[in-house]
A and B are shown apart, each in its own frame.
Chain A
Amino acid sequence: MRVLGRRLSLYVVTAWVAITVNFLLPHLMPGNPVQNLIGKVTGQITPQQVRSIELLFGVGLHQGLWSQYVGYWHQLFLGNLGVSITLSTPVSSVLASAVPWTVGLIGVSTILSFILGTFAGALLGWFRGSRLDSVIPVATFFQAAPYFFLGTVVLLLFGSDLHWFPVLGAYSQSVTPGWHWDFVFSLLRYGELPVITIVLSSVAGWMLGMRNMMITMIAEDFVLMAVAKGLPRRKVIAHAARNAVLPSVANLSLAIGLVVSGALLVELVFNYPGVGNLLLQAVLNEDYPLIQGIFLVITMTVLAANLLADVLYFILDPRTRTEAAV
C-alpha cells in the first residue's frame, strides 16, 4: 500500500503544478488582452463577464499576484471557473453539458476498441501463422487512414447514401432529452457510426500490441507448464494472455487520458456536442475563460486516468507492489 500512497502524493503534486500553471499562463500574456476580448464580445456584455475577464488576466484588479492566486483556488473549490465570454454562461455549466457527451462517445469507443483488440490480439497471437492472420492487414489499413477521413467516408456511405445510420448530432431532434427509452434508443442509434469509426481506426493498435506480447509469452516456460499440466486450451491461453495484457493496460491509461480532448475531428465530422467541438469554438472565439476551463478538465482527466491505470496495474501485476530497492 505504501507504494500506492507514494504514487498518490506524486499525483497531488502534479495536479497542483498543473493548476498553478493554468492560473499563471493568462497572467503572463503581454499587452492588454482584456480590452481586446471585450471588443470581441458581440452584443451585450454583462458586468459579470468583465469581472471574469479581469480575474483571468489579473488586470484592473488592485491585488497582488499571491492574493489573486489564493482567490483562484478559492473559486476553484467553489466550482467557479469563470464565465464564458461568447456564451455568457458560467464555464462550469458549459463544460457540464459537453463533457458527458465526449466521455460517453470516446470513452465507450476506447474501452470497446481495447476489449475487442485485446481479445482478437490474444487469439491472433495464439494461432499465429494461421488464416486468422489475414485480419491484420485489414485492421492496419483502417488504422492508417486518418480517422476524420474514415469518418467522412463512413458518414457519406452508410449515413447519407445508404441511410443505415442516422447522421449529425448525438440524438434525434424529435425526442426530448431525458432518462426515457426513446431518448436512450436515439442516443445509441446516433452513437453507432462515430463509435464504429473510432473503433475501426484504433483497434489495430490494441490488436497488434497484444498479438506481439502473446507471441513473446507463448515462448515462456509457464505457458509450457500450463500445457504440461493438462489444462484445457482456453485456460492455457488465459495464462499467456493474463501476462501479455499488462503493457496494453499501461497504454490504455494514456488512451483514456485522451478521451476528453481526444476525438476533436470525429466530433466535428459527426457534429457531436462534445468537448472537442467546444474547444474548437472556444479557440476560434478566443474565449479564454472557456479554454482555461477545458484545459483544467483535460489535465485532471489525464491525471485521473493515469492514477486509475496505476491502480489497475498494481492489481494486475503483483511485481509492481514490491518496494524498489533504492
Chain B
Amino acid sequence: MDSATTNLTVDELNDTVLEIEDFCVDYGWGETAVRAVNNVNLSVRRSRVLGVAGESGSGKSTLVYAVTRLLRSPGVISGGSARLTYDDPTASDVKRRTVDLMAASGSELRAIRWSQVSIVLQSALNALNPVLRIGHEFDELLKTHRKDLKKEQRHARAVELLGLVGLNEDRLSRFPHELSGGQRQRIMIALALALDPQLVIMDEPTTALDVVTQREIVNELAQLRARFGFSMIFITHDLSLLVELADDIAVMYSGNVVEWAPAGDLYSAPRHPYTLGLLNSSPPLSGERHELVGIAGAPPDLSQPLSGCSFHNRCPFVLERCSRDVPPLRILDSSGRKAACWLHDDPTTVPVALRRVALATSPGEPAPGAPMTLAREEIR
C-alpha cells in the first residue's frame, strides 16, 4: 500500500464520498437524553480510508450507524447533516449525485444501502442469518439490487466474490454455524463488496478474531481496496491496526472527535493526550518493546453534566482551564491536522510528548519503537 497522505491536490481533498457536519446523536429523549455523539465533523475522501479510533462507548459506532440511518431506538439523531456523494450507474446525464442522508426517504435509502454504502459488523456469526445458507444471502442481495441478473448470473457473481476473499464456492451451500470465525468474516467482506459500493463501513471487523486471522484479513482488505478503490470507514480501538490501513485517523473520546490527522502523523506524533494514552496502551508494531501503560481512570458518565474538556480528569497534563472550558477542535499546523486540546493554545504548555515532529513514514512502516518509549518517560 502506498502512502496516501502526500501531495494531495485541492480537488482530491474536496472529493469526498461522505461529508458529516455538526453531527449529534442522543440516547433517549428530553431531560434523560444522553449525548453520545457531539458536534462531529468528518469527511471520507474518495478511495481513501478514514480510521475511527476510541475505546468502548466513545460513540464511534453510534456515529456511523446514525449517519447511515441504521441507529436503533432509543438513539436519536439530534442535529447535523451527512451527505453521500456517489456515482450513479443508472443516471444518464449527471453521473455524480449527492444525497442528504438525513432527508432521504425510505425508498431512497433502500436504493443507496449496500449498493453505495455497505457495512461489516464485528461479529459475523450474528450478522449472518443463522437459518439461511450463505448462498441465499448473496442471492437475496443481488436479487434485490441487481434485478437484471438471472439466477445463474447471481450464482456466478457469488462464486466470484467468494474467490476474492479466498473461499471456495462450496461455502455457498453451508450455514453460518458450519464455518469458522475467519471464514464468516471473509463472507461478510465478500457480501460488502457484492455491489461495488463507494463506501464500506467496517465496524470492528477483526475484534472477534485471533491475531493471525486478524492479520490475514487486514492484508486482504488492503489488497481488495487497492484493486477496487472503494472508500472505507474503519472503526476499531486498535490504533496500531489503523495505522496500517487508514489514510486519516479520527480519535473519538466520549462522543467528541479529539484529534484528526493523517495516519502516519497521528501514530508517530500524537497531539492529544488521549491519543498518546491510546498509543501507550497498545504494543508497537515494530522495534523495541515497551511496558504498556493504561489510561488511568474511566471515561466520564455521559448522563452527568460535565464541564470543560471531557478528558480533563484523566489527563496527565491537565491545565486549570481544562475543567472549565470545552476545547474546540482546531487546526494546529499547515498539514491540516486538528486536535481539541488547550495545551496547544500556548507553545509553552505543550509537553514534549505532544510536540514530536511527525516522522515521514508511510502507513504500514511506522518508525522504530523509540517514540513510544520516549512518551512514557516524558509522562513520568
Residues of A within 8 A of B (CB): 219-222, 224-233, 235, 239, 242-243, 246, 316-319, 322
Whether the pair A222, B127 counts as a contact (CB closer than 8 A) is yes
Contacts A224-B121, A243-B130, A319-B130 given; indicate if A230 touches B72 (C-beta within 8 A).
Answer: no
Given known A221-B121, A322-B177, contact A229–B129 (CB-CB < 8 A): no
Which of A219, A228, A232, A318 lies at the interface centre, i.e. has the most chain B CB atoms within 10 A of its CB?
A228
Task: Tell me the smallest distance from the CB of A223 to a CB of chain B, in Å.
Answer: 8
Which positions 204-245 of chain B face chain A at CB distance < 8 Å? none
What separation, in Å, do the CA atoms of A317 and B140 have in the docked complex?
Answer: 19
Shortest C-beta distance, B157 to chain A (Å), equals 15
Complex: A288 Cα to B113 Cα, angstroms = 68
Complex Cα spacing A316 to B131, Å: 7
Question: Does B27 sit within 8 A of A, measured CB to CB?
Answer: no
Residue of B nearest to A239 (CB): B129
Closest to A236 in B: B110
Set of chain B residues within 8 Å of A230, measured between Cβ atoms: 109-115, 144-145
Q: Which of B68, B126, B132, B178 contacts A228 (CB 8 A)?
A: B68
Question: Looking at the complex, which one of A220, A226, A229, A318 makes contact with B126 (CB distance below 8 Å)?
Answer: A220
B177 touches A319 (CB 8 A): yes
**How distant is B116 from chain A, measured CB to nearest CB, in Å?**
9
Q: In the complex, how many angstroms separate the beta carbon of A220 from the nearest chain B beta carbon?
A: 6
The answer on a CB contact under 8 Å between B144 and A227 is no
User: Contact partner of B127 among A225, A232, A316, CB < 8 A?
Assistant: A225
Quick one: closest A residue to B174, CB to CB? A318
Indicate whether A318 sits within 8 Å of B113 (C-beta atoms), given known contacts A228-B118, A228-B119: no
Which 5 pairs, one residue from A and one from B, show the smallest C-beta to C-beta distance?
Answer: A230-B113, A221-B126, A318-B175, A230-B110, A222-B129
Knowing A224-B121, A229-B144, A322-B177, the reply to whether A317 touches B113 (Cβ < 8 A) is no
| Interchain CA distance A235-B139 in the complex, whole Å | 13
Knowing A230-B114, A232-B110, A232-B144, the reply to whether A222 touches B175 (Cβ < 8 A) is no
Whole-angstrom CA separation of A225 from B137 in the bound complex:
11
Q: Please give, as numbers and ranges, the residues of chain A lying within 8 Å of B131 by CB-CB distance.
A: 242-243, 246, 316-319
A319 to B174 alpha-carbon distance, docked (Å): 11
Q: Measured between alpha carbons, how far is A225 from B119 in the docked complex, in Å? A: 8
A-B contact pairs, 26 of them (CB 8 A): A221-B121, A222-B127, A222-B130, A224-B70, A224-B121, A224-B127, A225-B121, A225-B127, A228-B68, A229-B118, A229-B140, A230-B109, A230-B112, A233-B106, A235-B144, A239-B129, A242-B131, A242-B132, A243-B130, A317-B130, A318-B130, A318-B177, A319-B130, A319-B175, A319-B177, A322-B177
Q: Residues of B contacting A319 with CB < 8 Å?
A: 130-131, 175, 177
B178 to chain A: which residues have CB within 8 Å?
318, 322
Cβ distance B206 to chain A, nearest Cβ, rounded Å: 16
Bits for B53-97, please: 1 = Cβ < 8 Å to A, else 0.
000000000000000101010000000000000000000000000
18 extra interface residue pairs, beta carbon distance < 8 Å, beyond A221-B127, A318-B178: A219-B72, A220-B126, A221-B121, A222-B126, A222-B128, A224-B72, A225-B119, A225-B121, A228-B68, A230-B110, A231-B144, A232-B110, A233-B106, A243-B131, A318-B133, A318-B177, A319-B175, A322-B177
Q: Is B354 an interface residue (CB 8 A)?
A: no
Interface presence of B123 (CB below 8 A): yes
List residues of B (121-176) whose CB comes within 8 Å of A's CBs: 121, 123, 126-133, 140-141, 144-145, 175
> How far is it, in angstroms, between the C-alpha of A243 and the C-alpha of B140 when the chains are bound?
17
Q: How far is the CB of B193 from chain A (nearest CB, A)?
A: 13
Complex CA distance for A232 and B107, rounded to whole angstroms? 9
Residues of A within 8 A of B115 (CB): 230
Query: Which chain A residue has the least Cβ–Cβ distance from B177?
Result: A319
Which residues in A have their C-beta under 8 angstroms from that of B128? 222, 225
Q: How far is the CA of A230 from the CA of B141 in the complex (A)?
A: 8
B residues in contact with A317, CB < 8 Å: 130-131
Q: Name the CB-closest residue of A to B123.
A: A221
Give every chain B residue within 8 A of A231 (Cβ-Cβ).
110, 140, 144
Q: Which residues of B contact A246 (CB under 8 A)?
A: 131
Determine the distance from Cα of A222 to Cα of B137 in the docked complex, in whole angstroms. 11
- Please, how many angstroms separate the alpha-carbon atoms of A238 and B11 in the complex? 45
B145 closest partner in A (C-beta): A230
Alpha-carbon distance between A221 and B114 when the two chains are bound, in angstroms:
15
In the complex, what residue of chain A is closest to B132 when comparing beta carbons? A242
Q: Which residue on A lies nearest to B125, using beta carbons?
A: A221
**How far, in Å, is A191 (CB) from chain B's closest CB?**
35
Residues of A within 8 Å of B113, CB to CB, are 227-230
Could you tell me the distance between the alpha carbons of A17 and B141 in the complex, rounded to whole angstroms? Answer: 51
A239 CB contacts on chain B under 8 angstroms: 129
Alpha-carbon separation in the docked complex, A317 to B130 (Å): 8
Give residues 238-283 of B contacting A (CB, 8 Å). none
Q: Which residues does chain A contribute within 8 Å of B106, judged by CB atoms?
A: 233
- A220 — nearest CB in chain B belongs to which residue? B126
Taken together as a complex, chains A and B put the C-alpha atoms of A318 and B112 apart, in Å, by 32
CB B361 to nearest CB in A, in angstroms, measures 35
Closest-by-CB residue of B relative to A219 is B72
A106 to B72 alpha-carbon distance, docked (Å): 42
Which B residues lie within 8 Å of A232 (CB)? 110, 144
Measured between beta carbons, the chain A residues less than 8 angstroms from B144 are: 229-232, 235
Contact between A229 and B114, CB atoms less than 8 A apart: yes
A221 CA / B72 CA spacing, docked (Å): 11
Chain A nearest CB, measured from B289 CB (Å):
36
Bound: A226/B141 CA distance, A: 9
- Inter-chain CA distance A71–B362, complex, in Å, is 89
B40 to chain A, nearest CB (A): 20
Provide the bound-state CA to CA distance between A121 and B121, in Å.
28
CA distance A164 to B322 in the complex (A): 79
In Å, the complex CA distance between A273 and B103 comes to 63
